[in-house]
Structure 1
Amino acid sequence: MLVTAYLAIVFLLALCVGLELTARRVTPPQSTPTAVANPAFRGFQTIFLRAYLLALWADWLQGPYLYKLYLHYSFLESQIAILYVCGLASCVLFAPFAGWLPQALGRRQTCLLFCLSYSACCLTKLSRDYFVLIVGRILGGLSTSLLATTFEAWYVHRHVDVHDFPKEWIPSTFTKAATWNHGLAVGAGLVANLLAEWL
């Protein structure tokens, strides 16, 4: 059954790639935007995407792994559900502060706060203590709230205020981030599932 699921994913992936290539052939070529031709912008965009996509990859990677880990720690289904609810509830509770923190602490410091809270969240997974795991899920909720706001806030600030690039170029970066995010989600899910099932 697992082999069938992986074959279905490979088939759907091949179908998507085929449809994308067909759509690109049908669409008339457009003139190259100035943003693509600007090496300073491309360098700045690459720096942002490397850091942001790495953070997204880490977030996507642990999703399927957590449930298997909690089962391995011999927790009951109801206890696992409470852990997940703690993570989601903390994400909701921290969301209003996630928009305020970059202005209070600074965008860069808030990105670093994400890295610290996410690292601490991951380190708590090494413990079998239920309370430590709940604290980890609360840190995970904080991290998710920060991930959804701070990196983009940092990028927009640096794009407009520091580098003085035109605002019209911002969607180009976020389009790339969204496109890669979908691929990362699928890839991380497959990798995490393979590691959880076969290790």
Structure 2
Amino acid sequence: MMKLSGSVLVMMVVVMLQQALGAVDATSHQMQKRAMAELLVDSTLKAIETDGLDVVLGQINNLNNTRFRDTNDVNGYVVAFANNGTCLAHGQRPGDFVGRTTEDVILAKIPELKDKLDGWKVNTLMVEKAQAGGGWVTYNWITPTGVVYEKTSFVKQPKDYKDMYVLSGYDVTTPEDVAPAPDPTEE
């Protein structure tokens, strides 16, 4: 059996604690992102009830309006889709998405990704989850430069609008990870 000096043992304990705290910090960060996504979706649904759908969609599409954004995170925003897959509002890139389906966006950006990303499958999972009362869906997504990565979104359906859903989410893997993500799933 190998003997360790006291200082080596202390260093090992410190490293293990740092790794554990890093994991806790990462989990805490992920929990904060989940909570923010749920808050953004719920506040959007409440606003649709009080202010009307057209007003809220206009505010989401207005990049100068921060009502439906996490002002501390550029990726914290709301998106609204019709059940047929057409984007109704996009809090980050309305010019690229509004009026188009997810599949249209994928094919327009990088046609080679046609077999790697299935916009219709993602939309189907979102609709099913929203119609079942809401929840989380994990799926592959794409950066503007064509990097595929894993994302998860909280999705719900507005009370009086059964033909659409609202979502907000965050990146599970960063685009730099560039590891193939699994097929879309629901939690």
TM over 0.5: no
In the superposition, the TM-score normalised over structure 1's length comes to 0.28
Q: Which fold has the larger relative contact order, with Cα–Cα distance below 8 Å and residues 6 or more apart in sequence?
A: 1
Q: Which has the higher helix share?
A: 1
